[in-house]
Chain A
């Protein structure tokens, strides 16, 4: 398909802004010539209809939750209710400038305040900031808060290490390193959980905190969580909760009750806001009371007369991590979602997500290998069955073949501690009929792998492009269209 730039026709774009009746100005006078742009913009000219067709064609070469089931482990690709899209586009939310006087944005502030309360309630935390723009951004913010806490106690110099399990999301070590910490890895045991002995060995006076996902990336609940919490706190460290997997426990258990001091959520996972092809997300961070003074500023507060205000007077705050107050439009969608669920619905969503995952897991037991075959939470990890005499049909091939059956592939080759990992997260928004169809596809692929392996290896078959030469892309990077426009 041609690029936008290859569809350029000079003079074909008739979009114009109205000319105002204003006194003439002489650019030579108002804008010194040294500031004038010399090179052409190099942007394409298209008629409105051709631009619309271009992007419509691009959209048809994309695959969203609305196109089909998206069992992408760790990403919680649940259905994104249309009510949220509608609400975020209301002029009263969309056409509001962030620096308007607070008396003109009371509705927006009330929404932020109420959403923070809801998130606190769901997590068993005391206060939230909505500022971080994504999960990894929330992680970095949370680690900055841990750092500010140790600094406040005069222990920052010696607490230089963040512990991270070997099963952790890649963002955990990257976020902590980005905030300037050293990373120490804690091993998993044969049950896929944090190895308590190894944790004891890795804890010490130099540890600032432990980052943990619960359930972990194998979809398994960390049954020793209270002991992990006790050990970490005894060593003077804080416990950080990576909320990527919150969908597995919301309404059933709360990170705050498990001993977590800092949490982040992914509103674009658990709270049903769309992923937009890679963002915008939102990664609110919640803390226990003793960490509240360190939250980014400003914080939305309720005033004595029942209104809302932005409080900038927070001397211990870590500062700011994003312009203005975060991805407000994403918060609107999450608020709409929680309003629609209520407490009852939050719990039910979680229960159904976990049921759906276990249902698929049981149905696939004969056709795939399960490195740890026990009750899972919202997702599970399996691998293509080891075949006698081996097989050269790998996880990647199985994933690509699923595309032919109308499914987005699951997460693959993660977590790193499982060979040939296939990580399946169905979410609660899929019906049993849909799950059964997915199970049938997985079984069919397992069969093909034994009987007609070439079909699987050559997949996908019906897509606009076949498998790509990724080595070439990395070796000889072409990252933009180079031709000038005529």
Chain B
């Protein structure tokens, strides 16, 4: 077998040297009644050529962002990835290494994580960043756990403007009983400050943390200053979930005065990959240094005084503290964190600002073109590269767009959440607006509805 290379005569020789006569002898300690004859259905391994063909066929069955302009965001973005990123991140010394427990032969990975931690601290304006988390959602959930433990309070306030996927993850983690949530409603796509203040007044010293997503799920920019001031007023921690590319233009969590910054690092050079692997990041103030979950790399010296890097503060971690650990995280998303670092190195600070700026410009252009076409918007708050447009029938609208080779936006109730990156061109936006207009106002929608009444749906017509 390809991946168990010892040929049969060698296997026989090894068995003899081990004092056994057959491979079955290796499993005499497994009770007879649970020993398996063979897995069903029986199948032979595929040759590399046929396995590859099968995989390519499955891949071809998906539409990709290469085939169609895509206006989906909602936590995962089609940003440009410089060619050099994959060449570096694909190096097998990085890909096939384990967690750097042996620092003498892992300095490359340790230094890269140290550089990544530095980059995240600088982007977010925070003091300490860990080596990465699973995703933006679980990073936020862990931040909630950490807040409850630090403040010895239970309630975490979750805005209705939070990415619903994140909200569900937080809710699932809250099932542990380690913290509980209250939802703060929205108004015009922003946190309802009146409701926030009322809850803070009512719950006061029970509030562990307030969560702010910036830009929020709808793409809008929250009134962060007021939210954090109110949060500090009751002695709670503020957790900001941020977008790393947006931070090139927007005020950082550190500048706003947040205690914890989390987010998803996918936009930094990581392929969308149908939702993962991406990375979550987490950064905190100095005060929370010993509370942060996950791996940390620190600088030290070797026995000859040379600067070197090592996993540190491991007393917080599961393999030392077991049930008293600050979290159970072990494997994280190291290679994705490396990808983020490599991306930042190749685009540089100017490239990152350009990516944010170009995304904002094309989003502004799309918004004004949609407005000219007669569309209204769900909110009129400031936004960066994503906004929600009112649409009568979002699902059917997306189907219609797809017929014209466009992957539309994220479906909301009575609207589409449209995201724009530096990859979207003026021509693509013009087409989007043209077909959206055609569907909403031009009778294309009605034509479809009539078809459906006749028993033929849009996809059947395709």
Contact = CB atoms under 8 A, between A and B. Distances in A.
B272 A95 contact: yes
8 shortest interchain CB distances as A-B pairs: A324-B275, A92-B59, A107-B61, A276-B335, A64-B96, A98-B275, A319-B172, A61-B108
Given A254-B36, A329-B274, A465-B306, 8 more contacts: A41-B248, A88-B273, A97-B76, A274-B96, A277-B338, A324-B275, A329-B276, A339-B51
Interface stretch (B87-95, B184-192, B193-201, B433-441): B87-95
Interface string B51-87: 1101111111111111000101011101010101011
Contacts of A86: 52
Contacts of B374: none
A187 interface: no
Interface residues on B, range: 35 or more
19 contacts: A20-B361, A44-B348, A54-B345, A64-B96, A83-B51, A83-B52, A97-B272, A107-B62, A180-B178, A226-B33, A275-B96, A277-B109, A280-B332, A322-B138, A323-B275, A327-B276, A355-B11, A355-B15, A432-B6
B276 A279 contact: no
Contacts of B108: 57-62
Contacts of B18: 355, 358-359, 362
B151 interface: no
A121 B249 CA distance: 50
Interface residues on A, range: 35 or more
B19 to A, nearest CB: 7
Contact of B84 (A52, A326, A339, A464): A52
Contact of A42 (B58, B122, B333, B365): B122
Contact of A225 (B31, B41, B172, B225): B31
B354 interface: yes
Contacts, number: 682
A301 B90 CA distance: 33
Given A35-B251, A473-B300, A17 B351 contact: yes
Contacts of B121: 480
Nearest to A472: B300
A354 B96 contact: no
B287 interface: no
Given A144-B172, A343-B38, A30 B255 contact: no
A32 B380 CA distance: 13
Contact of B322 (A4, A173, A326): A173
A207 to B, nearest CB: 15
B36 A277 contact: no
Interface in A32-53: 32, 34-46, 48, 51-52
Contacts of B202: none
A72 B97 CA distance: 11
A37 B264 contact: no
Interface string B313-331: 1110111111111011111
Contact of B382 (A15, A32, A91, A481): A32
Interface stretch (B126-134, B153-161, B227-235, B444-452): B126-134
